[in-house]
A and B are shown apart, each in its own frame.
Chain A
Amino acid sequence: MLSIPAERFTLDNGLRVNLSHDPTTPVVAVNLWYGVGSRNERVGKTGFAHLFEHMMFQGSRHVPKGGHFDLIQRAGGSLNATTWFDRTNYFETVPSHHLELALWLESDRMGWMLPAMTQEKLDNQRDVVMNERRQRYDNQPYGDWDEWIQAMVFPETHPYHHTVIGSMEDIEAATLEDVADFFGIYYVPNNAVLTVCGDFTRDDAIKLIERHFMDIPRGADIPPIPGDTELSATIGSTVRECVEAEVPLPRVLMAFRIPPYSDPSFYAADVASAVLGTGRASRLYRSLVRERREAKDVTSMAFPLTSGAGMLILWATGFPGADPEALEAALSREVEALGTVRDEEIDRAVALTETAWVREIEQVGQRADLLSMFDQLFDDPGRINSEIERMRDVSPKDVAAFSEDFLGTNNRAVLTYVPADSGVVAGGSP
């Protein structure tokens, strides 16, 4: 069991704060989780949460455009931000004597971002984001897979039906008014968690956090997520799409609607995913890749989502000329065999996950991010220390029950990519 410390308090404006002290290296991480992501986007505004994240680096009242990067890099720090379904995170790791700089920059954009916004900056970042979409989705073999899968796993009324990157049309249509509205609703201290992790003095850190964040006014309560987050536990059938595309090798993706991260049975899903696809002793690698040579590569991942449901995704890439139906049958075979799992398989999956987990939290930045996450999602940052135990508690019976309930043919989305001109008939549109 790990013993990462976490001291919590809340400012009067609703900002939740975690302090986690570790003086072993003279570096400190500042991490902010805002409880807003693509799930909060309305019809016609897909991709906006992510575009907004870009705008957060375009300056604020006391920081010029590019100033955030300039000042942090000059201090010898690293920084970035990411947007996801349920949240947007912003983070800096700096040499510890620059803690106040990172806090000042984050607080300036939390409190005073709008005075720095201009049409020119928005036009520029819209172009950047459209190029990001082209580079990562449109000009990339299999790059649009999540657009298809999310649309198949989640109904049109559900906030996970659309992707984080959003559609080109919606990105193009974003206005300065959208920026101001989004900021006013979601970028408020009562919708954020701030974590400081690493080398600092407790009293100094508290004084600096109060100095820079205390005067930012609390916002209104956060409006409910648009659309309908209530949904049935399963998809209800096997839905299929086949895409003929400029891809070199056939690939079959199989996705399942699973319980959300907040549900205790999510851990059975996580263990099932690791038994199937983590490491070279995993079932998919051993069977499809090593022994039967049905696939060139295999992947498995359980998405820890919070709004109504999550998803588990498997994929297998075939060798040139492989029959996609045979690939799908191979994935089905291994999914259906999960009714019988040995203790040693779970031990192996947990051991690999534990090593990966500890290696991840070696970095104060990652540690801070997980503390923010556990605070935001579970109201309990201390969960960073018990997460692996929750996986360890999963039994073969739990995995069997999970697979019985969630991995059947009544709950599958199957997406097949076939190389263009391969003779396989394809159809459909995302």
Chain B
Amino acid sequence: MSSSGRASAPAPGPIRSFDFPRVRREVLDNGLQLRCVGVPRLPVVTVSLVLDAGECNVDDSHAGLAVLTGDSLEGGTAVRSGVALAEALEGIGAGLSVGTGWDSTAIALSCMADRLDEAMELLAEVVLQPTFPTDEVERIRGQRLAAIKQGRMDPASIATYASRAATYSDGAPYGRPLGGTEESVSSLGSDSAAGFVEARYRPGGAGLVVVGDVDIDHVKSLAEGSFGNWSGDAPRVDGIGAEPRTTARRMVVVHRPDAVQSEIRIGHVGQPRSTPDYFPLLVLNVILGGAFTSRLNMNLREKHGFTYGVRSQFAFRRGPGPWTISTAVGTEVTADAVREALSEVETLVADGPTDEEVEAARDYIAGIFPLRLETTTQIASRIAELLIYDLPDDYHSDYRDRVRSVTRDQVAEAARRCIRPDETTVVIGGDAERVRSPLEALGWAPLEIESAP
């Protein structure tokens, strides 16, 4: 084809339908929710046990306990030592991964499908019979404390922690680092981990998700065999405290002498996962800073070259997680970048998006949906999301229709309701000597300067 014959983008071919894979739903006698999906594409399986055991389940003085407990599971079980456990799991090609968040702990492994029986037994052993040997928990606590020290010298982490602390009032869990502080983690040990398991690692409130090249009936009998004797409930804790620290504008510089870049965080308290504005906010976020072509990225990166990239995010949790814009920019353009970012936010809230933007964002979110469901791990985490956030079983079959039905007015209203420029806190981790005057010249809020932790 000659150059002239290729002047415009080709039209799409006939669309092929996509359905979320069929989920088999069972509840064991002890209350454990079982979700199983047969995906025969490749001989692999992912098993994920999702527990109602997150950092929101511990108070400030024990901050980091859910994380430490999850990390300490590798210390050993009543059946074998930590070393023997690692050898047993990895001998069948299964690495154990523990992901602890605010709302849940997910203990997961993937392996070749013909090793599922052994993998399921080992997973049950880890969750039902952990022993938390004192020396192992002390070792892992030492690693956690060293990691916290590392985070205090990482420019991105410094800015994120400062932003969270500035966003939420004292006592709100989301204002502290997920893994806790040096002080809180130092006070934790083997007994606290065992106590957390006793209270929160329970089948009532938990879900077992199995996705891969498996026979669904066989999975059910495996689950009954491995988890059937487990008992108890982890009652849902409601009403997570998430008061804002202030509803006034704030601008804080966390001073890092000689920093070559400034890490910028702009935000305030956002919305919970249960918000009725969820779908309009997904669309809004893609337009503001959730995609390469977003207003923020096209301005700060592609127009001005201030940064390698900028993102915005609503952290949807059981309680209202933060709404945040994050970027790292050259020190000399810090104030320019803050001005441009705030101006994009103000314009979007005042005028709303265009019809064209809403249509493009809807197409993107709906279109990308099957691309995010290629792997057993991706499917398993989508299903786990339903369990953690009490979403209906048919949620995924309606998902793309719900995205496509979002209107421009809904997005504009959600923007006005959920983003409040005059209640925003701007945190800059950078060289205060160099960024101070240009930031003050913005006249946006009085400048507060803190020293780095």
Contact = CB atoms under 8 A, between A and B. Distances in A.
Interface in A119-145: 123-132, 134-136, 138-141
A26 B370 contact: yes
A42 interface: no
Interface of B: prevailing SS: mixed
Given A96-B16, A108-B6, A139-B259, A73 B142 contact: no
A26 B7 CA distance: 27
A141 B303 contact: no
A281 B369 contact: no
Interface in B65-110: 74, 82-83, 86-87, 89-96, 110
Nearest to B154: A141
A246 interface: yes
A104 B94 contact: no
Interface string A1-44: 01000000000000000000010111100000000000000000
B286 to A, nearest CB: 8
Interface string B316-333: 000000000000111000
B305 interface: yes
Interface string A373-413: 00000000000000000000000000000000000000000
B301 interface: yes
Interface string A336-363: 0000000010011001101100110111
Contacts of B347: none
B282 interface: no
A76 B368 contact: yes
A173 interface: no
B112 interface: yes
B261 A134 contact: yes
A73 B149 contact: no
Contacts of A182: none
Given A95-B15, A281-B86, A358-B112, A123 B305 contact: yes
Contact of A69 (B41, B83, B293): B293
Given A26-B18, A124-B305, A355-B110, A76 B6 contact: no
Interface centre among B143, B366, B377 (most CB of A within 10 A): B143
B377 A359 contact: yes
A248 interface: yes
B112 A355 contact: yes
Contacts of B375: 359, 362-363
Given A128-B305, A290-B83, A134 B328 contact: yes
A364 B370 CA distance: 12
A2 B213 CA distance: 14
Judged by DSSP, the binding face of A is: helix
A333 interface: no
B305 A126 contact: yes
Interface string A310-329: 00000001011000000000
Interface string B40-60: 011110000000000000000
Nearest to B82: A290
Nearest to A364: B374
B111 interface: yes
B368 A25 contact: no
B291 interface: yes
A348 B308 CA distance: 40
B261 A135 contact: yes
Interface string B1-12: 111001111111
Contact of B12 (A25, A61, A75, A291): A75
B240 interface: no
A125 B305 contact: yes
B306 interface: yes
A112 B95 CA distance: 46
Interface of B: 1-3, 6-18, 41-44, 74, 82-83, 86-87, 89-96, 110-112, 136, 139, 142-143, 146-147, 149-150, 152-155, 259-261, 291-293, 298, 301-308, 328-330, 360, 363-364, 366-371, 373-377
9 contacts: A62-B7, A75-B363, A77-B368, A112-B3, A199-B16, A351-B112, A354-B93, A355-B112, A362-B374
